[in-house]
Amino acid sequence: MTENTKVDVVIGGRNFTVVGNESEEYIKNIAEYVDEKIKDVNGKNDKLSNSMAATLAAFNIADEFYRNYTEYTSLKEQVKEPLEKYEAMEKKLEKCRNRIEELEKQCTIYKNELSTTRKENEINSKNLKKYKQSIDFKEIELKQNQKMIKDLQDKVFENQIELVQTKKELKEALKHFDGEKDIFK
């Protein structure tokens, strides 16, 4: 519990001891304010008694308070809707922050996947280059083999022609030999 503060003040030319749970400075400021209001009322009409001046000062302070309270109530009502909107916007902002956090996590995952894919792509590109070189080498080898096959086919064809000619010559030689055999009989 807060401790009560006792403060001696002068209001309307009279000494008072005020007890309150506010600071001494606050109590003195309030007393000075009330004293100024009483002096203000007395300054406008010096024929008033202290009691009447204090009553009019209290009335003026009450009027000031009531106007301020009415304005405060009006402002409080005016800020009610924006405050509700503010609270809704705070909730929306929190949702957006959470969504951003999720998206950042997803983005990190995608970056890692992209990095992995790039590395795999580099490996695949190197392998593709090796395979292309191998295919180029095999195509050269294939062309050489096709040329060799053609050359061999040409040789086989020439040998077949030569064989046919040799067979003809052999037949003729055999016929001629058979013909000479008959001569000896």
Across 4-13, average pLDDT: 93
Q: Residue 127 domain-assigned?
A: no
Judged by DSSP in three states, 125 sits in helix
Q: Residue 35 domain-assigned?
A: yes
pLDDT of residue 145: 94
Whether the pLDDT of residue 64 is over 90: the answer is: yes
**Gap between the Cα atoms of 45 and 72, Å rounded:** 32
Per the structure, the count of domains in the chain is 1
Look up the pTM and report it. Answer: 0.47
pLDDT of residue 83: 81
Q: Residue 136 domain-assigned?
A: no
Q: In this structure, are residues 15 and 8 in contact, taking their beta carbons and an 8 Å threshold?
A: yes
Q: Residue 79 domain-assigned?
A: yes
Q: How would DSSP label each residue in 14-65? A: EEEEEEESS-HHHHHHHHHHHHHHHHHHHHH-TTS-HHHHHHHHHHHHHHHH
Q: Residue 33 domain-assigned?
A: yes
Q: Which residue has the tokens 């191998």?
A: 134
| pLDDT, tens only, 129-175 | 999 999 999 999 999 999 999 999 999 999 999 999 999 988 888 88
Q: Residue 118 domain-assigned?
A: no
Q: How far is CA 86 from CA 75, 91, 93, 138, 155, in A?
A: 16, 9, 10, 74, 97
pLDDT of residue 84: 83
Range(s) of the domain holding residue 58: 5-91
Lowest mean pLDDT among 27-31, 163-167, 179-183: 179-183
Whether the pLDDT of residue 115 is over 70: the answer is: yes
